[in-house]
Structure 1
């Protein structure tokens, strides 16, 4: 049963399969709109009733995840709901793309932005890579470890030059702040930088976060390296949503013709 419902090998759908699947589904959305937009099911899927049904189902999954503490986010039904929502948004965008008005342009920005952000997160998930690296003082490291424990070679070296930690109470050794000073180097450049918790640095296509450290002697720092090549699409979509939402607020509520 678990093998049927749970997605355990997301990497199988990595580039280029995710890109091919995404382009194929875009073609399906356009095909449905051009040839079957008057079909009852297509009208339902791209209409308010379909939107409410999909969002309601997603809320149910979120509640189940929170209450039952399961792995519902990693199931095929949840992914299918997200795909349905993506198709729903695509049909909504196509339905409003011909109308020429400022309010409609802002509406399109809002919904197209959400479509891009959701698509970038959904299709980019198989390409997202998260690994950890233990950096010892003044020892260049170029190999990290993924979530399965396998070695993962990096396209650059990481050298921990200095590590600092501040405590709230030195007797209890409760850390207030810890900071790693690093040298990051690849074939093109060499960067001396410092990272702290929630203050990552970007290098070589990776975002490098401070994750942990040697709590006994401070001889090494544990770094989290995240690679997400689809993140730019997500940020673009979010920016479009913000512009559209702010524009709709500035325009004010829709007025009837006789007002």
Structure 2
């Protein structure tokens, strides 16, 4: 039975390898909000119905909740993270220029590859199945199990489904004019719904002339309401302009004696709080297991 489960799990991985080789990376942009919400709800409901109706009697349900799936999906996930750690992860444009079999298989932008998406799909489906089954259990101290598994699932699910809505773009901001045209890491133009203009800049330097720290004063003007506000940006101190959208100061004009512009990075990640909730749930479950200790098995004499 274990060999059959491993073979079943290998089928989507092999299909992903073939699609990746011939079609390139997964088209996350196609699944932007609200389509990702709809598909996510259908996905969870499908797993629930498989467990509810079949009660672990058919092959698909057995695969979803089997210990072999736990081991194999975690093994695949570790392999995927090793690829991400061992190979330089480039932007989509730079990764497309890589030649050879590794470039074709998306190793240089692996988180967006069909292979990694299929690994996450297997792992998340498995976590969803055992979490749903855990809710139906009447065993005591099951809340620790649920917090751990539901937390890990929620953190990964938020990152997986939120990839479609995740945007990283950079924009030059000038003293003499407002600007709302940014460029994404994929090389596409991205227009903000607010204008940015540099109103002040201050830099502190080491004795050798290298910048020690720098602060930019930026005016943010909402294009819809017409309201404007003044914000102060410093390296590694982002400003959250609105829910799930942060503004970072990343660089400035180093060619002029007095900088004429600075470069800001816009990071739009509306699912990050869902991931944060998942992480908090996982930590709470781990603390509960540490405080409560292992569940003792008792038997009647």
- TM-score (normalizing by structure 2): 0.77
CA positional deviation for 1:48 = 2.4
Please give the alpha-carbon distance, in whole angstroms, between the structure 1 residues aligned to 2:272 and 2:51.
28
Please give the alpha-carbon distance, in whole angstroms, between the structure 1 residues aligned to 2:25 and 2:34.
18
Q: What residue number does 1:94 align with?
A: 132
Do the aligned partners of residues 64 and 145 (structure 1) sit closer, same or farther apart at CA in structure 2, a change above 3 Å counting? closer
Please give the alpha-carbon distance, in whole angstroms, between the structure 1 residues aligned to 2:80 and 2:190.
34
| Structure 1 gaps, min length 5 | none
Please state if 1:227 is matched with 2:263: no
Please give the alpha-carbon distance, in whole angstroms, between the structure 2 residues aligned to 1:73 and 1:4.
17
Q: What residue number does 2:46 align with?
A: 28
CA positional deviation for 1:5 = 5.8
After TM superposition, the structure 1 = structure 2 runs for residues 192-211 of structure 1, keeping only pairs within 5 Å, are: 192-205=230-243, 206-211=245-250
CA positional deviation for 1:68 = 4.9
Aligned pair partner of 1:42 in 41, 61, 66: 61
Moved over 4 A (4+): none
Please state if 1:164 is matched with 2:202: yes
CA positional deviation for 1:239 = 1.8
Secondary structure class of the residue paired with 1:229:
coil
- TM-score (normalizing by structure 1): 0.89
| Structure 2 gaps, min length 5 | 1-17, 89-106
Please give the alpha-carbon distance, in whole angstroms, between the structure 2 residues aligned to 1:18 and 1:115.
16
Higher deviation after alignment, 244-253 or 25-34: 244-253
Do the aligned partners of residues 207 and 67 (structure 1) sit closer, same or farther apart at CA in structure 2, a change above 3 Å counting? closer
Higher deviation after alignment, 8-17 or 64-73: 64-73
Aligned pair partner of 1:7 in 21, 25, 32: 25
Contact 2:26 2:114 (8 Å CA) reproduced: no
Do the aligned partners of residues 168 and 257 (structure 1) sit closer, same or farther apart at CA in structure 2, a change above 3 Å counting? farther
Secondary structure class of the residue paired with 2:82:
helix
Q: What residue number does 2:211 align with?
A: 175
After TM superposition, the structure 1 = structure 2 runs for residues 237-252 of structure 1, keeping only pairs within 5 Å, are: 237-252=278-293
Q: Once the two structures are superposed, what CA deviation does each residue of 1:183-221 show, in whole Å capped at 9, x if it has no partner?
A: 223227433221212110011342001111111222111
Do the aligned partners of residues 101 and 194 (structure 1) sit closer, same or farther apart at CA in structure 2, a change above 3 Å counting? farther
The number of aligned residues is 256
Q: Once the two structures are superposed, what CA deviation does each residue of 1:209-238 show, in whole Å capped at 9, x if it has no partner?
A: 111111122211100001112222112212
Q: What residue number does 1:82 align with?
A: 120
Please give the alpha-carbon distance, in whole angstroms, between the structure 1 residues aligned to 2:127 and 2:173.
44
Please give the alpha-carbon distance, in whole angstroms, between the structure 2 residues aligned to 1:98 and 1:8.
35
Please give the alpha-carbon distance, in whole angstroms, between the structure 1 residues aligned to 2:133 and 2:188.
47
